[in-house]
Amino acid sequence: MKVFVPPFVGFAIFGVIVLLQSIFYPTHMSDMGKGNLHAFMACFYYCWPLYFITALLTQGLIAIPVWRYVEDRSMLAKDMTVIIICSICFLLAANIAYIIWDEHTGRLHLIWLTAMMLMIQLIYWIINSFVMLMLEGKVKVKVKMPVKRKAKNTQAPE
């Protein structure tokens, strides 16, 4: 359950965002590789099964073992793990951004691509961690339903 549900929730959220975006800005295969946010969403739109399989493998082979390792460790160890994961996300984001970056667009565009890739990864891992905490029962989401109260039959005084 911990292998499938957290990536599914993350991909469902990103999928809804991409689908809503594709309603207003239709995506085509030719949109991929342009080095902007629309190109990244087009890539997600067409390649999500491959990305989802990668997410499942990452969850099962890396995320869950790391999660179990730090589960009973000190707060310092947990903080260091978060810093290491953020650093790995930054390195991966910088590498991916550099690969899709066009030198003619300037270094500012490379910085923007790196920041965008980093934010997408960090948001995914925050969602993933929150769902993992929910599955373990450490975070409980309470939904309050409005209760309709019956009106008293009061008559106006005569």
The pLDDT value given to residue 22: 84
The pLDDT value given to residue 74: 95
Cα separation of 82 and 154, whole Å? Answer: 60
Report in angstroms the alpha-carbon separations of 110 from 12, 32, 35, 104, 113. Answer: 28, 17, 9, 10, 5
The pLDDT value given to residue 92: 95
What predicted TM-score, i.e. pTM, was given to this entire model?
0.80
* Structure tokens belonging to residue 147: 């209760």
158 residues of the chain, pLDDT tens digit each = 899 999 999 999 999 998 898 888 888 888 887 777 778 888 888 899 999 999 999 999 999 999 999 999 999 999 999 999 999 999 999 999 998 888 998 999 999 999 999 999 999 999 999 999 999 988 887 777 777 776 666 666 65
The pLDDT value given to residue 86: 96
The pLDDT value given to residue 36: 72
The pLDDT value given to residue 156: 60
**Number of Cα atoms under 13 Å in the Cβ half of residue 111:** 3
The pLDDT value given to residue 27: 82
CB 54 within 8 A of CB 96: no
Distance of CA 25 to the CA centre of its chain: 21
SS3 assignment for the chain: CCCCHHHHHHHHHHHHHHHHHHHHCCCCHHHCCCCCHHHHHHHHHHHHHHHHHHHHHHHHHHHHHHHHHHHCCCHHHHHHHHHHHHHHHHHHHHHHHHHHCCHHHCHHHHHHHHHHHHHHHHHHHHHHHHHHHHHHCCCCCCCCCCCCCCCCCCCCCC
